[in-house]
Amino acid sequence: MKPDSTLGRHLHTFFHEYLTTQRNVSPHTVLAYRNALKLLLRFAMKRLGKGVEGLVFEDLAVDTVLGFLDHLEHERGNTVATRNARLDGIDRSTPEGRRDYALVAFAYQTGARVQEIIALRACDLQLDVLSQVRIWGKGRKERIVPLWPKTAALLRAWIEERKVDPRGTATIFVNLRGRPLSRWGVRYILKKHARGAAAACPTIAGKRVHPHVIRHTMAVHALESGVDTSAIRDLLGHESVETTWRYTRLRMEMKRKAIEACAPSRAADEPSVPIWRRDPDLLARLEAIGRRRDYVESHAP
């Protein structure tokens, strides 16, 4: 079989050329594709009775992919809507779950600091035609952030469930005793749901999930969507645009680290052999992408 027909070559091109160069995706997206491909390869190996080194691109035909989706839905317990993502959702059948879901949605959409989240009051929200929130940042500086319709709907439903006067000063996010959440309370909520998600996505288990990670993620996603750094600065309440520019530099460094992690080290005098010929173990190479410590946690602004 010619080397050019091997699956390894196609995967190498997909990760190193398409995702990184053409799509310019984030390291988190790279890891998401890696997790999906690991499951697909293991399913194909079992279905076809081949070792991973024997798989070729043609083995991942329509019938294999459809069988894989059916496997995710019926054997792994993923719903049709979430079988490709494979992440556990927050149980919204309870008041606690509905609070947590609204909190995470608000934190991601606004990029608010944890202190800004726990200080949010009903009177800071405008949830009618032009939904927005007034956030009080460091030094009591005020900024207005528009809200997505879905985020506004979640907050509106939560306020109505708690029978809170929308014009009053009641705190939005409270604990089971009705008192405002603490910083540690928010951290506990995020860690709890991260543990649940880790059952379906094991790479989450080794990561420190905390409020600033959500703030950072929102900033990086905004950059990837083409939002101007000055707009992101105003949205996050940064004092200086230089703080926002750190996200741009960090995003590129994270991407470089994630891609470097897939490639085995090579001595200076070793022949320049394509990666798919040097290491035939595709699963090992895919797993290597997630071995580095999450770069976000120690370098986030």
Q: Is 113 a catalytic residue?
A: yes
Of 12, 34, 71, 113, catalytic: 113
Three-class secondary structure of residue 42 per DSSP: helix
Of the listed 98, 247, 251, 285, which one is catalytic? 247
| 18 classed as catalytic | no
Structural element, H or E, at residue 125: strand 125-126
Whether 247 is a known active-site residue: answer: yes
Residue 215 bears catalytic tag: yes
Region 222-235: mean pLDDT is 74
pLDDT band at 268 (very low <50, low <70, confident <90, very high): very low
Written as one letter, the residue type at 33 is Y
- How many Å apart are CA 159 and CA 88, to the nearest integer? 25
Query: Cα angle at 155 between 152 and 157, to 5 degrees?
Result: 105
Q: Look up residue 58 and give its amino acid.
A: E
20 versus 78: the higher-pLDDT residue is 20
pTM for this model (two decimals): 0.55
pLDDT tens, position by position, 157-185: 999 999 999 999 999 999 989 999 999 99
> Percentage of the chain with pLDDT > 70?
66
Q: Which residue has the higher pLDDT, 215 or 27?
A: 215
Superfamily the domain 95-198 falls into: Intergrase catalytic core (1.10.443.10)
pLDDT class of 196 with cuts at 50, 70, 90: confident
Residue 2 has pLDDT above 60, yes or no: no
Q: Which of 28, 156, 208, 212 is catalytic?
A: 212
Please pick, among 12, 210, 215, 233, the residue that the annotation labels catalytic.
215
Burial of residue 133 (CB within 10 Å: 0-12, 13-18, 19+) is buried
- For the chain, domain boundaries: 3-87+251-299, 95-198
Instruction: Let me know if 76 is a catalytic residue.
Output: no
Q: Which of 138, 141, 256, 266 is catalytic?
A: 138
- The verdict on whether 238 is a catalytic residue reads yes
Query: Roughly how many angstroms between the first and final C-alpha of the chain, as a whole number?
Result: 50
From 282, 277, 258, 291, select the one nearest 42 (Cα to Cα): 282
DSSP-derived pairing of the beta strands 125-126 and 142-146: unpaired
Give pLDDT, residue 266. Answer: 46
Q: Is the pLDDT of residue 240 over 60?
A: yes
Of 86, 98, 99, 238, which one is the catalytic site residue? Answer: 238
pLDDT in tens, 74-130: 666 555 444 444 437 687 888 999 999 999 999 999 989 999 999 999 999 999 888
